[in-house]
Amino acid sequence: MEKNNYQGALQHPLGSGFSATSTATEVIKGIDLTGKIAIVTGGNAGIGLETTKVLAAAGATLIVPARDIEKARKNLGAIPNVELETMDLARPETIDAFAEKFLSSGRPLHLLINNAGIMWVPLQRDSRGFESQLSTNYFGQFQLVARLWPALKNANGARVVNVSSLGHHMAPFNFDDPNFEHREYQTLLGYGQSKTASNLFALELDNRAKAHQVRAYSLHPGSIAGTELARDANMELFKQMGFFDESGNIRPEILASLKNIPQGAATSVWAATSPLLNNIGGVYCEDADIAELLSEDPAIQTSTKLHQSGVMDYSLDKSSAKKLWDLTEEMTGIEFNVN
């Protein structure tokens, strides 16, 4: 019988030999990606840029779609085998244009790393009225994979890697009001449900796509110093989550757990390339290994949840994954037939 990760059935660490301090360069050592084509969204900054550098150094051809081409060009500099394109995950028409251009090249797609995202922003909506974190972190991701599906299938062995977050601990997916039309907007809940959606998407995509040799993964890269992701968050939000004390000082245990950017890119690169995952998919990873499965405890406060590791069982639920796929097709008008 084909194995899947519904209800976290496969959520058991493999003993990869790596840890929270392993770097992207370390986890890819000995792996040759010559002839492989990879797309890394947000591959021009932060851990996305490190992911791009490391995959290119291993021989892959990288395509990096970005919102700000000039900024991306400066950051990508002289990295070899990198192609730069325009795309904004919150603007559906740009996703279609990017995918159409790639498909017209006739190339297969071996690695799709959905790295780009936004975090903890004030209430904003896209042109469809969708809440911006859900739009960027999940709906855009779903659309991109759906449009690039022919190229993934033609690779005869491809991986889709969704860079999620421990932030999925903040909230399950709210099927009754995903866009905060009838409930008070809280940015942590918006972010949390967008990352839960990304996990559920990887779970369901893997189950549907593995017959075509396409496997999917989600992951937490770690809490990382030196990225721009939390630029919209204020100090009160960091205090609320327990990252800073009442005086505005970062808590020592938080400081000790922060990763640098090469460490933060390690799990993305590991999920994209590790031979340990050749026959397993749909799993949520962290620290360059498969994460432990957790059950939700309503008594645990949000600030405490964010200091745990592991994946919440609700983000690997079979019925939720299938329900979300159907709802996404209905809300976006994108029919994603994996065949």
Q: Which residues carry out catalysis?
A: 191
Orientation angle between helical segments 318-332 and 187-209, nearest 10 degrees: 100
User: Phi/psi class of residue 109: alpha, beta or left (left: φ > 0; alpha: ψ in -120 to 50)?
Assistant: beta
Q: How does strand 284-286 pair with strand 289-290? A: antiparallel
255 HSE (CA, 13 A, CB side): 6
Which helix (H) or strand (E) segment holds residue 160: the answer is strand 158-163
- Which two tokens mark 43? 């591959």
Total count of residues recorded for the chain: 339
**CA geometry: angle 154, 139, 23, nearest 5 deg:** 70
**DSSP structure class, residue 252:** H
Residue type, 187: T
Please state, in angstroms and as integers, the Cα–Cα distance from residue 244 to each residue in 93, 198, 223, 231, 265, following that order. Answer: 40, 27, 14, 16, 24
β-bridge mates for residue 259, sequence order: 224
Cβ 304 vs Cβ 166: under 8 Å? no
Report the sign of the C-alpha dihedral through residues 263, 41, 38, 277, in that order. Answer: positive
Residue type, 242: G
Q: Which residues neighbour 237 within 8 Å (Cβ) at sequence distance 6 or greater?
A: 120, 187, 188
The torsion angles phi and psi of 63, rounded to 5 degrees, stand at -115, 125
Please state, in angstroms and as integers, the Cα–Cα distance from residue 284 to each residue in 120, 131, 216, 309, following that order. Answer: 22, 25, 9, 11
End-to-end CA distance of the chain: 20
